Amino acid sequence: MAPRNKLFLGLFIHSTALNELEYLHNTAVCVDGKGTIVAVEKDCDEDKAKQTVFPRLGWVEAEVEVVKAEEGQFFFPGFIDTHIHAPQYPNAGIFGDSTLMDWLDTYTFPLEASFSDLAKAHRIYNRVIRKTLSHGTTCAAYYATIHVPATNLLADLCHERGQRALIGRVCMDQTPPAYYRDESAEASLAATRASIAHIRALDPTHSLIRPIITPRFALSCTFPLLQQLGTLAAETGLPIQTHISENKTEITLVKQHFPRSLTGAADDSYAGVYDAAGLLTARTVLAHAVHLTEGEAALVARRGAKVSHCPCSNSALGSGAAPVRRLLDRGIGCGLGTDVSGGYSPSVLEAARQAVLVSRHVVFMGEAGGGRERAKLSVEEALFLATRGGAEVVGLEGRVGWFGVGMEWDAQLVGLTVVREDGEVEEGDGGGDVDVFGWESWPDRVAKWVYNGDDRNTKQVWVRGRVVHTRK
């Protein structure tokens, strides 16, 4: 059956600027069979759309599917998770008393190493895609493992389930650990090329799935490998993802392992290592950036590299509190990452909530520039980072993140719980913790959603116009 044109009706909410949400009430959005938004019509109901918009688009009424947001529901752009380790999902919430370096050794590497088993990979990747879709994640920048077959499987499953994704085979040719690494820089590069080739064959136009070059982080790569991956990125034009300045011990080790004499960088900063290898580009996603120096932040801004802010992870692993305002003030594009399983939650909404909360702790630490209170992120800003900011981080800013003609329909239908006059709720309302009493303004309802919402509020999810999740 050919994909049908779709008419979405009701309230649409999306970011128009960092600190601004637009509320489009009684609006019609038309999405064609390719999943592209072809009309956004304000003050428009079903009849009016049929009478005035359909003729303009050349649409035949009988061939259009109509989807309405009920009273109290709204359409919102799908969330973009700019940093998530798909294979680590079973470890979500398991930290013991570890911090980054021992957490990797104790929990992460043993689990990732086991992805040589494709049946296990299928089980976990299937679940993580289902789970993130149910939370409204329409696009994810995934780290896989070093294994080509399992990485390709992750790409296949995303393609099949319809989740937009960047898929990165993880490159690491240096200890730790001995039992889980590429044999050499050459082997790492060859395996990366093999995975890229698979994804290109799967989705030649990158309509949904795209490869992303993924040096795990500086410490797990030799400098020649970093350089070769930089060259590969330049050759292919593909995006890059890696970690930076997550943890203070890590930063000290990077300085020790990558002296200027080795890298030829101007200084021995962490960002300088990536820059010297050609990995600091406008298509680079840097996860964490908790402890960047002013000089490094300036370099990142100059190169146009982007930052994936992962507050759940940074708090849980005790890494620190990233000064997001300082990065934004420098014009660095920022999005949110769940960083499963450094982050405990697969939900970008949880990442948004923690971004708001952690920003208050940045205030307590006096880390903000230009007046301490400025460090605070508002609910609106966190939602910008979760959608439009994230789109910029993963290089999709012209395609997804908000509702406009020419953009693709990656969206979620959000519903909140209505409390009756007797203080009860209707049976089968789906539950969840966002209770609306009826007198709340729409900005207050959105704030309630950010603070107490979960996957129960995400009723349906679309990617490129296709339904990819429906809440039962």
Round to whole Å and give the CA distance between 466 and 230.
Answer: 35
Q: Report the greatest alpha carbon distance in the chain.
A: 73
Between CA 290 and CA 298 the distance in angstroms is: 14
Looking at beta carbons only, is 28 or 153 nearer to a second copy? 153
Distance CA 269, CA 273 (A): 7
Q: Toward a second copy, which CB reaches closer, 110 or 278?
A: 110
Closest distance to a second copy from the beta carbon of 123 (Å): 4
| Least CB distance to a second copy at residue 354 (A) | 8
Q: How many residues touch a second copy (CB under 8 A)?
A: 63
- 411-434 burial, b if ≥16 CB within 10 A, otherwise e? bbbbbbbeeeeeeebeeeebebeb
CB of 311 to a second copy, least distance (A): 9
Which of 240/310 has CB closer to a second copy? 310
Cβ closest to a second copy, residue 174 vs residue 452: 452
Nearer of residues 116 and 315 to a second copy, judged by Cβ: 315
| Dist. CA 12–CA 23, nearest whole Å | 6
Q: In the complex with a second copy, which residue's Cβ is closer, 271 or 312? A: 312
Applying the rule CB under 8 A, the residues between 390 and 419 that interact with a second copy are 419
Smallest separation, CB 222 to a second copy (Å) = 32
Determine, following the binding rule CB under 8 A, whether residue 149 of this chain makes contact with a second copy.
no
Minimum CB distance to a second copy, residue 305 (Å) = 25
State which residue, 180 or 258, has the beta carbon closest to a second copy.
180
Q: Which of 27, 151, 354, 460 binds a second copy (CB under 8 A)?
A: 354
Q: Hey, CA dihedral for 400, 323, 135, 105, is it positive or negative? A: positive
**Least distance in angstroms from the C-beta of 39 to a second copy:** 34
Hey, is 328 helix, strand or coil? Answer: helix
Binding mask 270-309 for a second copy (x = CB under 8 A): ----------------------------------------
168 touches 386 (CB < 8 A): no
Decide whether 331 or 366 has the Cβ nearer to a second copy: 366
| β-strands 64-68, 5-17 pairing | parallel
Minimum Å gap between C-beta 328 and a second copy is 17
- Given candidates 364, 370, 426, 470, which one binds a second copy under the rule CB under 8 A? 364
Per-residue binding string, a second copy, 417-456, x by CB under 8 A, is: --xxxxxxx-x---x-xxx-x-xx---x--xxxxxx-xxx
Pairing, β 334-336 against β 411-414: unpaired
Q: Which stretch binds a second copy (CB under 8 A): 259-267, 297-305, 325-333, 363-371?
A: 363-371
Under the criterion CB under 8 A, does residue 363 sit at the interface with a second copy? Answer: yes
Q: Taking CB under 8 A as the rule, which mask of x and - marks residues 82-111 in contact with a second copy?
A: -------xx-xxxxxx--------------
- Phi, psi dihedrals of residue 359, rounded to the nearest 5°: -60, -30
Q: How far is the CB of 422 from a second copy (least distance, A)?
A: 7
Q: How many helices (H) and strands (E) does the chain have?
A: 18, 20
**Alpha carbons 448 and 419: distance in angstroms, whole number:** 14
Closer to a second copy by Cβ: residue 155 or 285: 155
Q: What is the closest distance, in whole angstroms, from the C-beta atom of residue 244 to a second copy in the complex?
A: 18
The 3-state DSSP class for residue 289 equals: coil
Helix runs in 24-114, H state only: 46-48, 54-57, 100-103, 109-113
Pick from 98, 315, 330, 397: which binds a second copy (CB under 8 A)? Answer: 315
Q: Which residue has the tokens 């020649």?
A: 224
| Interstrand relation of 74-77 and 411-414 (parallel, antiparallel or unpaired) | antiparallel
Question: Is 41 in a helix, a strand, or coil?
Answer: strand
Told to check if 23 binds a second copy by CB under 8 A, we report no
Q: Which of 226, 238, 224 is nearest to 195 (CA)?
A: 238
Q: To 5 degrees, how large is the angle CA 32–CA 461–CA 379?
A: 110
Spatial separation of the C-alpha atoms in residues 466 and 411, rounded to whole Å: 10
In the region spanning residues 111 to 140, those forming contacts with a second copy, defined by CB under 8 A, are 119, 122-127, 130-131
Residues that bind a second copy (CB under 8 A): 89-90, 92-97, 119, 122-127, 130-131, 315-316, 318, 320-321, 344-347, 354, 356-358, 360-361, 363-365, 376, 378, 419-425, 427, 431, 433-435, 437, 439-440, 444, 447-452, 454-456, 472
